[in-house]
Structure 1
């Protein structure tokens, strides 16, 4: 087994959507086009690989200073609740996030939550803490990993938390995305960000997806199957997927508004062809980096000023899913199932051909 170095670009060297000319929307990104562009947000991965049995891991999203005594405003939305988003009900009830957000494999979620509680109780200022709400999301990596072995242990969780950093963020087959598939392709972790003016100030929105859902991929309005890009046909995956969409922003939003933002994260999956199947747990979680109860600071954004932020979230999530598909690597699981990432060159050729056909149709007489 090996742990991924969070400071390394890793699989991202294969080429992200934007580098291939597949940017989504017209807004600029942050410097790394990642969740970590939001000030005060760090990410760490521990990646566990023991082929062909184990392709799993854990991803930690760590807002600076978060804790039971310094919660952040947050909202959560279950588009389809077939999943184990530990800690969701307290966020829905109180609108407060008091731990980092961890993403892992379905059957490892409970061990991860326990490890997160232990880590939190060791933080400075927690000597009198008697309750803490760990937040852990999951996706089922059982197609490409021995999920019953529950390989993610306490030391892996602590490594992801302790090594979380800002800056460039590894994507694809890392952390909680190591064994995932989506839309017929090998998938994993994907991220993106947007900068935009909002109510008289510039703000940053960052998203990270743990992509593992069914459906037929759509890129720029064109359906794309593995066969369309020269990949072998794969047998149907069981509906045991899920997608976790985590958004962070430095915009001054309250918990109700962040819940509205979390919904847009789930809605955005429709753009790339999500089927929202019976067995897919599709969750959105959004948090702000301004602590709750801060007496000073900007006023909360008005609801009727939120449309640009909602649009940015739709664009960022769509691009993050494409990044997850493009930066993954071919993986074979313990029962011989193999999934391939979305190949860049055949995809671009397919889109060029589709655009040329559309142009030709539009120039025909009577079109």
Structure 2
């Protein structure tokens, strides 16, 4: 399917992405290789203008914040924040500080706030016990969020992540879905930290997507002895769909993940969050009802949107590999990048 201008989640109009990366040497062979990534569904006030959203837990070995309420009410009212496992609390605090400063009515004259934070375990390369991510890093990531091209690979929350035993991290891709005079965009961003190199199907993808003159090679080494890992997948669209339909999108994203080769290991947290900014839901309104015009499930465009989610998810995983750089972490550990060579 056709890709957007940037081939990234930011091809969905008004979606923004920001990163803060922490890269620091510590005494006694310690190293900080971590960060924060923020995904903003639109450029306005996220609390006052919520977006429909849903999540799908493929494997629940993870420590997310906020998904219970997302699935109960079907809306997202904060940035989606990504970081390492031990920094969820600090990122939550920073995001809360930011949102409270932007919205004086929260927990005063109106309701409280639901913040969404996801994580992966980067402790193989990162001295995660040091907990160097602080609340202000989350605020900075939100403030730095922008439209346009997305930095990928070992950046932001992806700085210390490992995917298919080579360097992973942030990856993104997009697809355009057209019907008559209407075009919608599906964008995906992944935080990849999972899998064994023997599983990876990237060369099959290269062959079937016009890159058959290239071959991806994984540096020869002993198997990386690390936790099973995780992946967080963010699916965004401007198609006018509701939370039930977005959960269907999230489930299709799991198919795209499976195409890359993973069998979803026991200790892997595989969590998908989907949202649409095709319309917003006001926090306060005088009307008793809302009636956005939604796509019909049985319209042929729905199948095209499903396909777009699958394709963009698969490619976003691979983009995290193709953009990452060889990284040295704590205790002198080195994770090589995936090498793309002409045959």
- The offset of 1:233, in angstroms, is 0.9
1:85 aligns with 2:85: no
- The offset of 1:219, in angstroms, is 2.1
1:76 aligns with 2:55: yes
1: distance between equivalents of 2:245 and 2:218? 43
- Aligned residue in 2 for 1:32: 6
- The offset of 1:66, in angstroms, is 4.5
1:318 aligns with 2:304: no
1: distance between equivalents of 2:222 and 2:117? 30
Q: How many residue pairs are counted as aligned between the two chains?
A: 319
- Aligned residue in 2 for 1:62: 40
- Aligned residue in 2 for 1:292: 281
- The offset of 1:304, in angstroms, is 2.2
- The offset of 1:236, in angstroms, is 2.9
- Aligned residue in 1 for 2:21: 47
1:237 aligns with 2:222: no
**Per the alignment, in what secondary structure is the counterpart of residue 258 of structure 2?**
helix
- The offset of 1:342, in angstroms, is 1.0
1: distance between equivalents of 2:73 and 2:31? 40
Deviating above 4 A after TM superposition, structure 1's stretches of 4 or more consecutive aligned residues are 293-298
2: distance between equivalents of 1:190 and 1:168? 12
1:274 aligns with 2:262: yes
Aligned ranges for residues 199-238 of structure 1 at < 5 Å?
A: 201-215=182-196, 216-221=199-204, 229=217, 231-238=219-226
2: distance between equivalents of 1:240 and 1:109? 19
Q: Judging changes above 3 Å, is the alpha-carbon distance between structure 1 residues 230 and 132 closer, same or farther for their aligned structure 2 residues?
A: closer
Which of the pair is proportionally richer in strand?
2
- Aligned residue in 1 for 2:93: 114
- The offset of 1:333, in angstroms, is 1.6
1: distance between equivalents of 2:267 and 2:324? 23
User: Any gaps of 5 or more consecutive residues in structure 1?
Assistant: 1-26, 350-367
**Per the alignment, in what secondary structure is the counterpart of residue 122 of structure 1?**
helix
- Aligned residue in 1 for 2:175: 194
2: distance between equivalents of 1:66 and 1:304? 33
- Aligned residue in 1 for 2:296: 302
